[in-house]
Amino acid sequence: EVQLVESGGGLVKPGGSLRLSCAASGFTFSSYSMNWVRQAPGKGLEWVSSISSSSSYIYYADSVKGRFTISRDNAKNSLYLQMNSLRAEDTAVYYCARCPPRAATFDYWGQGTLVTVSS
Amino acid sequence: DIQMTQSPSSLSASVGDRVTITCRASQGISNYLAWYQQKPGKVPKLLIYAASTLQSGVPSRFSGSGSGTDFTLTISSLQPEDVATYYCQKYNSAPFTFGPGTKVDIK
């Protein structure tokens, strides 16, 4: 069974940093592209970042480019999101999501971790 | 960047009704269009990809159509368990933008 479990969320002050993790199991993690998608309270879905299976290709939404860094450790079956210079508008539930082969859709999602940016 | 719009933003229909949601891309995206269902308090679920291909396990009352810039998600006979917000998403190239969502509830 595919499982994605996010951790690392919490309350942080504006300008602060946080590192999210996503632990994957139930599939060959090193063969799949992975993503972060966020959802602000009461709002819609926003794609944040994607990373290919070997980390060769990385993409970011304009809203986080230069502040967030996606990475993965295939030996540890883990995905990460380093978030710096956090702003109030980054407050959201952050989901880890898997891409099926050859498509940037999201076929499995974690339960999400809440990041709150507030003074 | 390509923008995604959806209409309507919300709708209310009776059980058994046929429901149609429209998604429009600001530029052509061929058939690189997916639909997701997010029930209240739950994680999003992939319903349809490649504009019209049903994800495994999704009931056949859901269908998708379209290509280029205009796409449609249809629920042929609305069921109480279909109460949710539905999102379209483009995936031809980054950014993999979602539409703003359409909230569906029961009249």
Which chain B residue is nearest to residue A58, measuring alpha carbons? Answer: B94
Phi, psi of A117 (to 5 degrees): -110, 110
> How many structural domains comprise chain B?
1
CB contact under 8 A, A50 and B34: no
Confidence of residue B53 (pLDDT cuts 50, 70, 90): very high
CATH code for position B18: 2.60.40.10
* Structural domain of B70: 4-106
Contact A45 B96 (CB under 8 A): no
In angstroms, the CA B89 to CA B99 distance is: 6
SS (H, E, C) chain A: CCEEEEECCEEECCCCCEEEEEEEECCCHHHCCEEEEEECCCCCEEEEEEECCCCCCEEECCCCCCCEEEEEEHHHCEEEEEECCCCHHHCEEEEEEECCCCCCCCCEECCCEEEEECC
Alpha-carbon distance of A66 to A71, in angstroms, equals 14
According to the model, what pLDDT value does residue A64 have? 98
φ/ψ (deg, to 5) at A15: 90, -10
Say yes or no: B14 contacts chain A, CB-CB below 8 A: no
pLDDT in tens, A35-91: 999 999 999 999 999 999 999 999 999 999 999 999 999 999 999 999 999 999 999
Q: Does B97 touch chain A (CB under 8 A)?
A: yes
Q: Is A105 close to B1, i.e. CB distance below 8 A?
A: no
Please give the average per-residue pLDDT across B6-30, as a whole number.
Answer: 98
Q: Do residue B94 and residue A105 have CB atoms under 8 angstroms apart?
A: no
Q: How confident is the model at residue B79 (pLDDT cuts 50, 70, 90)?
A: very high
Tally C-beta pairs within 8 A across A and B. Answer: 56
